[in-house]
A and B are shown apart, each in its own frame.
Chain A
Amino acid sequence: MAGARGLALKRPSALPGFGLALGFTLTYLSLIVLIPLAALVLKSATLGFAGFWEIVTGARTLAALRLSFFTSLFAATVNAVFGTIIAWVLVRYQFPGRRLLDAFVDLPFALPTAVAGIALTALYAPNGWIGSWLAPLGIKIAYTPNGIAIALIFIGLPFVVRTVQPVLEEFDRELEEASATLGANRRQTVFRVMLPALLPAILTGFALALARAVGEYGSVIFIAGNLPFISEIAPLLIIIRLEEFGYAQAAAIGTAMLMISFGILLLVHLVQAWQRRRFGR
């Protein structure tokens, strides 16, 4: 029975091993990812909707979620701007050290977040290399929400660069030439022809950086200061609740964060689908 049904769902193929490969894949996926994530949703469901809502909108939770979201939004925006500039420079200009810079863009993916966290703290603490320059100006970075933003910029940097870079590499130079022959100066060509064409890639990178930043923990907690209502991020609050054995509360906050992340990624998919339908490719 099961075999017959499996055949109907699969196009016939001469290659062996489909059953084994798919069976293993689905089992592993279920055990490692799906069942544990279901446990999260199940646990927060035990609170009932009212209970869930009460926790998520509790003053401290809301402050943490708000802080996580808005500092992430700020960091992703900074990355959208500078990431685009970096991608542009790496693709369009030849200069000594270009390939080294290109390789280094991925450092935030490779460097453990805890290491990034303590390194950034060392730099931006009032007695650090950068912090000691800013302190006399009255600017505090470490142990404030500013520090959180710095850490989130660090971990989100590669996303925009790596989504914009391939699009820019494939960008048809004839479009720029067409724009110029039609009388557009370089600034007009860049802002009216090129950036609109890059916008979907920039937005995708922005959203990926945002989704990553909302959940980020390791690089942030060292530099944040972690004061409730001021510099306490949502992931840290989960850990605090967990240490108090508030499993359901932790699960509720986690579910809220998951919903934010998935919402962002869903938006990306919608934007991409819309753009494919409209502009082709």
Chain B
Amino acid sequence: MTDAAIAPLLVTEQRGTTVTTEQWPVRILLIGVAVAFLVLFLFMPLAAVFVEAFRAGIGAYFAAITEPDALAAIRLTLLVAAIAVPANVVFGLAASWAIAKFEFTGKSVLNTLIDLPFSVSPVISGLIYVLLFGGQGYFGAFLHSENIQIIFALPGIVLATIFVTFPFVARELVPLMQEQGTQDEEAALSLGASGWKTFFKVTLPNIRWALLYGVVLCNARAMGEFGAVSVVSGHIRGKTNTMPLHVEILYNEYNFAAAFAVASLLALLALVTLVIKVALEWRYADQIAASRRH
């Protein structure tokens, strides 16, 4: 580190009383450890993605991401997210309206159940749908006779994705709406607004940034989910491969440059997600739920 970089660490009180902080060698050591750890575990993997992606040259990079199977994977990923995210938005709004605006028995149980998918392994998230809708599953015979395909097809992928992204929107909205209480809505109703009007004109504007925050996180997970989707997809190239699955296939075929090229698109998505997330946290900290955990 340069002297200029160290200087701010050394200035505390004029005479260096360090009652509530550590002495500067300790501070520098701890900062060094933290930075080294984050560089090793976060920055280097991220850098590796982009370096490997361009290893075979820019031409190969663009060829890899514009090749038909890659484009099909991108289209499928966007389609799945376009179904799963709105579904969870509607659910999140309904759940937070019920939980935050009303008092009823079993509320805390419901609150806990909403977080349940976070503690379920992605593989299990896929497995449960195979057990229901797979060839040997509970509804397998029925679906086969009706000629409906869920597993190894789009519906299965969408279901698994909805499951793993289930809590994202709700958990951003519930604490915020609980904090905001019911006064605004009661005022609107007493002024003669209808229920739906109250929701769209009063409630929704109050929660819009938290909703966006939840949507961004939900979307990142929906587009990037691997384990759950892997179980239900069947890995049919150009048909049921999402981007993460396409990365896996390319990687397993030792087509590293192409794998990393597609992976770099997902990494870019992660970076954009982080930027929006941080921007929302800085700009609208008070309008986003107190909990910043995921």
Give the number of residues in A that approach B within 8 Å (Cβ atoms). Answer: 97
The answer to whether A37 touches B128 (Cβ under 8 A) is yes
Interface string of A111-140 (1 = CB under 8 A from B): 111111011101100001110000000000
Q: How far is the CA of A162 from the CA of B99 in the complex (A)?
A: 25
Q: Which residue of A lies closest to B259 (CB)?
A: A118
Residues of B contacting A: mostly: helix
A residues less than 8 Å from B18 (CB atoms): 186
Is the CB of B45 closer than 8 A to any CB of chain A? yes
Residues of chain A lying within 8 A (CB to CB) of residue B293: 159, 162-163
Give the contact stretch, choosing among B29-37, B63-71, B141-149, B204-212: B29-37
| B residues 31-85 touching A (CB-CB < 8 Å) | 31, 33-35, 37-38, 40-46, 48-49, 52
The reply to whether A21 and B294 contact each other, CB–CB distance below 8 Å, is: no
* Cβ contacts under 8 Å, B236 to chain A: none
Q: B177-194 toward A: CB 8 Å interface, digit per residue (1/0)?
A: 000001001100100000
What DSSP secondary structure best describes chain A's contact surface?
helix
B16 within 8 A of A: no
Question: Is B14 in the interface zone, CB < 8 Å from A?
Answer: no
- In whole angstroms, what is the CA distance A216 to B226 when docked? 10
User: Which partner residue on chain B sits nearest A247 by CB separation?
Assistant: B136
Contacts of A173 in B (CB 8 A): 20
Residue of A nearest to B262 (CB): A115
Say whether A217 contacts B226, CB under 8 Å. yes
3 tightest CB-CB pairs across the interface, nearest first? A215-B121, A112-B224, A218-B226
* Interchain Cβ contacts under 8 Å between A and B, 30 examples: A10-B104, A10-B105, A15-B195, A20-B94, A26-B110, A29-B95, A29-B113, A36-B128, A36-B129, A82-B33, A90-B34, A112-B225, A112-B226, A112-B270, A113-B244, A115-B49, A115-B244, A158-B294, A162-B293, A162-B294, A177-B19, A186-B18, A215-B119, A215-B122, A215-B123, A238-B124, A254-B127, A257-B124, A262-B119, A265-B119
